[in-house]
DNA sequence: TGTAGAAATGAATACGCATTCATTTTTTCA
DNA sequence: TGAAAAAATGAATGCGTATTCATTTCTACA
């Protein structure tokens, strides 16, 4: 069985028309008579013809490909992000090239390869974007949109939750429910999410004159949360609430606290961030901050598509709010 | 700032050589003098030249693109799968086009689009592959490898865990630890994983003359596990062990059992399947079957690359074993 | 029925590259 | 030093499509 890749020329010959007309049919051009259109479609069907996307993109300069760069796909928050991005973008006819940057920064070679494929845009979620990589994208006219993070010195659009405000509200909530001794388990200290969440949290504590505050570094994983909590409790038995950089950390923190023999929320309150699905599992029932995921993705896609279509469009920064989801890991201590 | 996409011709002019020679340099051809190579690389650097992957693939008939089709990226098992596949394939220079098929089957349009991009191969994980879709891939000479599933009537390579044997061993383990009343929470009944796991489990129970066996349908999600366990316990208070189609179901089952007020493993034993990371979280500490994930991925990649390189290669079915990971959700009842 | 205008069609071309083939340059070795 | 072999180079070509431009066919209306 010979597997030939038939071309529009082959179809043209079978249908008895010119290659141009075949091309018109498959490009959705309307200027083709119904009679020939049918003939062409029949011939194409018979041969099993399909247009060649690469040849097409060579001329149209459109590839309909979007790169999506993630750092930690194992974090359920990002699994969800990927799923939703795929939904939205595939509905628009775009294809997703998936990149997982294990290392701190996107690999130079990955950037180069994405460039060679002439992707039309790239979504950077969480991965640290070295400015050289970003510049490279920009230099080649590839639209960059940052998701869930931003960097001040880059001229890229960005969509993220107002982490600063969220952290302030969480801190306020914890203060007003009578907590005395605070801890924060952070993510990597060089990410904007961590920086802003910490800043907001700290600020409220300072305003309220609270001095009992410990910070323990984590890296947005369960294990790091687990270790951080052990460390915190060991160092200070009086901690009565822990704000976690994200939900996965919070789950680790909770398991550590329980392993030690303390109760949540009776002994220690825990608050997470993201509202991943697991946070509502009965074993955890975590009070957390919900990021408006779908809206964030929708906005990101909107910006992306808009900038792809209009190269003069200015980069935009969109900050969304989200809200506290109260479950059972915070107890009033008044 | 003009953003021109320079071509090999532009580079050639700057370097004072022919386009052919530029092409040779970037295609890794060795027949270029060191002197010109340097000149060309300098010119390319100066212009910011990068080869156009589409133009290249038009000639070489290689796209270095692999499709990966998943059904449920939110299942942590598949997040891990995706991560590992990305690692391996990007190391080999392949790019991953990510497809999440929410619906039961891969959408016809998705298949068509993948075909138009001339992907060299496609990995189907868990997603249901209609025979028409599969035939379509085969017809166009695209290598198909099934991961963690197989279908008898299709001539595709497949890599999966010996679910039948695994389920038998799990059943044996539960029988020999003195359990009396069995339940199985399944995945979708049309997947090979579910069918084989159920079959192996059933067979052992039959051999051992055990009649107390209930089956509750699930769909490989936490929620379905939760509901299934509620249903099971309501219907039969004497159930003393539940074998779950996968780990996520098992976690749901555990939370339901605990919510009801029963203890694990004192009242009910639970066994999962996959050994996802969460199964070792202290809150669950789930006894489960470990699928040899990395090896499975490695084998899949091997088959894929092999078949891509050698079109005469016969499809292969590789079954791997895995092993029981004993934690704290099964108690001997002797 | 005749004609202006619209619609449909095909020939030719270009997209950016790899590759073949013929030619030139360099190297090797007697 | 010279001839043969090897290496390097460039001109030309084609991959499969969209698009432009010129030409032909069709439609509408007087």
Q: Is strand C within 7 Å of residue A269 (CB)?
A: no
- pLDDT class for A109, splitting at 50, 70, 90? confident
Read off the pLDDT of each residue in B185-213 and give the average, rounded to a whole number: 94
Chain A residues 1-30, Cβ below 7 A from strand C:
16-21, 24, 30
Predicted confidence (pLDDT) per residue in A32-71, tens digit: 999 999 999 999 999 999 999 999 999 999 999 999 999 8
String of b and e for B171-197 (b: at least 16 CB within 10 Å)?
Answer: bbbbbebebebbbbbbbbeebbbbbbb
Flag if A79 and B80 touch (Cβ within 8 Å): no
Predicted confidence (pLDDT) per residue in B125-155, tens digit: 876 666 777 778 888 989 999 999 887 766 8
Q: Taking all atoms of strand D, which protein residues have CB closer than 7 Å?
A: A 5, 7-9, 19-20, 23-24, 26-27, 29, 49-52, 55-56, 58-60; B 16-21, 24, 30-33, 35-36, 55, 58-59
Q: Please, what is the average pLDDT of chain B?
A: 93
Which residues in chain B touch residue A117, judged by CB atoms under 8 angstroms apart?
53-54, 95
**Chain B nearest CA to A18, separation (Å):** 21
Please give the backbone phi and psi of residue B98, each rounded to the nearest 5 degrees, phi first. -95, 130
- pLDDT class for A139, splitting at 50, 70, 90? confident
String of b and e for B38-73 (b: at least 16 CB within 10 Å)?
Answer: ebbbebbeebebbbbbbbbbbeeeebbbbbbbbbbb
Test the A interface: residue of B3, B54, B221, B247 with most A CBs within 10 Å: B54
B2 pLDDT above the threshold of 60: no
More confident residue, B334 or A94: A94
* Residue A1 pLDDT: 35
Which residues in chain B touch residue A282, judged by CB atoms under 8 angstroms apart?
255-256, 258-259
* Residue A2 pLDDT: 45
Q: Measured in angstroms, what separates residue B252's CA from nucleotide D29's C1'?
A: 75
Among B247, B249, B305, which Cα is nearest to B279's? Answer: B247
A129 pLDDT above the threshold of 70: no
Flag if B110 and A116 touch (Cβ within 8 Å): no
Of A86, A116, A282, the CB nearest to B53: A116
Q: Which residue of A has its CA nearest to B7?
A: A116
Read off the pLDDT of each residue in B55-65 and give the average, rounded to a whole number: 95
- pLDDT class for B334, splitting at 50, 70, 90? confident
- pLDDT class for A214, splitting at 50, 70, 90? very high
Among B103, B159, B168, which Cα is nearest to B130's? Answer: B103
* Residue A29 pLDDT: 79
- pLDDT class for B234, splitting at 50, 70, 90? very high
Q: Which nucleotides of D are covered by protein (CB under 7 A)?
A: 7-12, 14-20
* Residue A135 pLDDT: 79
Flag if B58 and A53 touch (Cβ within 8 Å): no
What single-letter DSSP state applies at residue A4? -
What single-letter DSSP state applies at residue A274? B
DSSP per residue, A43-112: HHHHHT----HHHHHHHH----EEEEEES-TTSHHHHHHHHHHHHHHHHTT-EEEEEE--SSB--HHHHH
What's the rounded Cα separation, in Å, for the pair A115 and A136?
A: 9
Predicted confidence (pLDDT) per residue in A249-293, tens digit: 999 999 999 999 999 999 999 999 999 999 999 999 999 999 999
What single-letter DSSP state applies at residue A242? E
B94 pLDDT above the threshold of 70: yes
* Residue A105 pLDDT: 67
Read off the pLDDT of each residue in B202-218 and give the average, rounded to a whole number: 96
B24 pLDDT above the threshold of 50: yes
pTM, to two decimals:
0.95
Flag if A255 and B282 touch (Cβ within 8 Å): yes
A276-279 contacts, C-beta under 8 A, 24 or more apart? A276/A76, A276/A77, A276/A80, A276/A247, A276/A248, A277/A76, A277/A80, A277/B74, A277/B222, A278/A76, A278/A247, A278/A251, A278/B222, A278/B278, A279/A247, A279/A250, A279/A251, A279/A325, A279/A327
Planar angle of CA A104, B248, A224, nearest 5 degrees: 35
Which residues in chain B touch residue A223, judged by CB atoms under 8 angstroms apart?
none
Test the A interface: residue of B53, B103, B119, B135 with most A CBs within 10 Å: B53
Read off the pLDDT of each residue in B67-81 and give the average, rounded to a whole number: 94
Read off the pLDDT of each residue in A151-162 and give the average, rounded to a whole number: 85
> B209: cis peptide before it, omega within 30°?
no
**Chain A nearest CA to B250, separation (Å):** 13
Q: Is strand C within 7 Å of residue B131 (CB)?
A: no
* Residue A103 pLDDT: 64
B3 pLDDT above the threshold of 70: no
- Strand-pair partners of B145: B123, B157
Flag if B118 and A54 touch (Cβ within 8 Å): yes
Planar angle of CA B163, B165, B166, nearest 5 degrees: 60
Please give the backbone phi and psi of residue A160, each rounded to the nearest 5 degrees, phi first. -160, 170
Planar angle of CA B215, B216, B219, nearest 5 degrees: 130
CA Rg value for chain B: 26
Q: Measured in angstroms, what separates residue B333's CA from nucleotide D26's C1'?
A: 88
Most confident of A309-318, B111-120, B246-255: B246-255
What's the rounded Cα separation, in Å, for the pair B246 and B249?
A: 6
The nucleotide lying nearest A12 (C-alpha to C1') is C10
Q: Measured in angstroms, what separates residue B216's CA from nucleotide D13's C1'?
A: 65
B328 pLDDT above the threshold of 90: yes
Of A267-271, B10-14, B179-183, B307-311, which range is least confident? B307-311
Test the A interface: residue of B139, B281, B286, B307 with most A CBs within 10 Å: B281
Q: Are A252 and A235 in contact (CB under 8 A)?
A: no
CB atoms within 10 A of CB A99: 25
* Residue B1 pLDDT: 35
């Amino acid at each position: 069985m010979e597997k030939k890749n038939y071309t529009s020329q082959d179809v043209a010959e079978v249908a008895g028309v010119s290659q141009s007309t075949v091309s018109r049919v498959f490009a959705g051009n309307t200027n083709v008579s119904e009679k020939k259109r049918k003939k062409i479609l029949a011939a194409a069907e018979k041969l099993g013809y399909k247009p060649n996307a690469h040849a097409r993109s060579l001329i149209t300069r459109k590839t309909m490909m979007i790169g999506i760069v993630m750092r930690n796909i194992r974090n359920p928050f990002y699994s969800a992000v990927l799923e939703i991005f795929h939904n939205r973008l595939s509905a628009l006819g775009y294809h997703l090239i998936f990149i997982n940057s294990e290392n701190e920064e996107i690999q130079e070679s990955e950037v180069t390869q994405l460039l060679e494929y002439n992707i039309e845009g790239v979504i950077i979620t969480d991965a640290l974007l070295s400015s050289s990589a970003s510049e490279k994208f920009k230099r080649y006219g590839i639209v960059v949109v940052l998701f869930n993070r931003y960097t001040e010195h880059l001229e890229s659009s960005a969509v993220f939750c107002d982490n600063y405000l969220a952290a302030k509200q969480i801190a306020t909530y914890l203060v007003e429910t009578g907590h005395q001794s605070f801890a924060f388990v952070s993510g990597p200290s060089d990410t904007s999410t961590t920086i802003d969440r910490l800043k907001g949290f700290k600020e409220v504590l300072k305003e309220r004159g609270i001095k009992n505050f410990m910070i323990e570094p984590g890296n947005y994983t369960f294990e790091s949360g687990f270790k951080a909590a052990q460390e915190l409790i060991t160092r200070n038995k009086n901690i009565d609430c822990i704000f976690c950089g994200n939900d996965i950390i919070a789950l680790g923190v909770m398991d550590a606290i329980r392993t030690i023999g303390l109760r949540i929320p009776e002994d220690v309150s825990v608050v997470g961030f993201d509202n991943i699905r697991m946070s509502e599992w009965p074993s955890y029932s975590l009070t957390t901050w919900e990021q408006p995921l779908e809206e964030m993705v929708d906005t990101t896609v909107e910006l992306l598509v808009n900038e792809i279509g209009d190269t003069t469009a200015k980069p935009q920064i969109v900050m969304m709010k989200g809200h506290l989801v109260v479950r059972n890991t915070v107890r009033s201590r008044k």
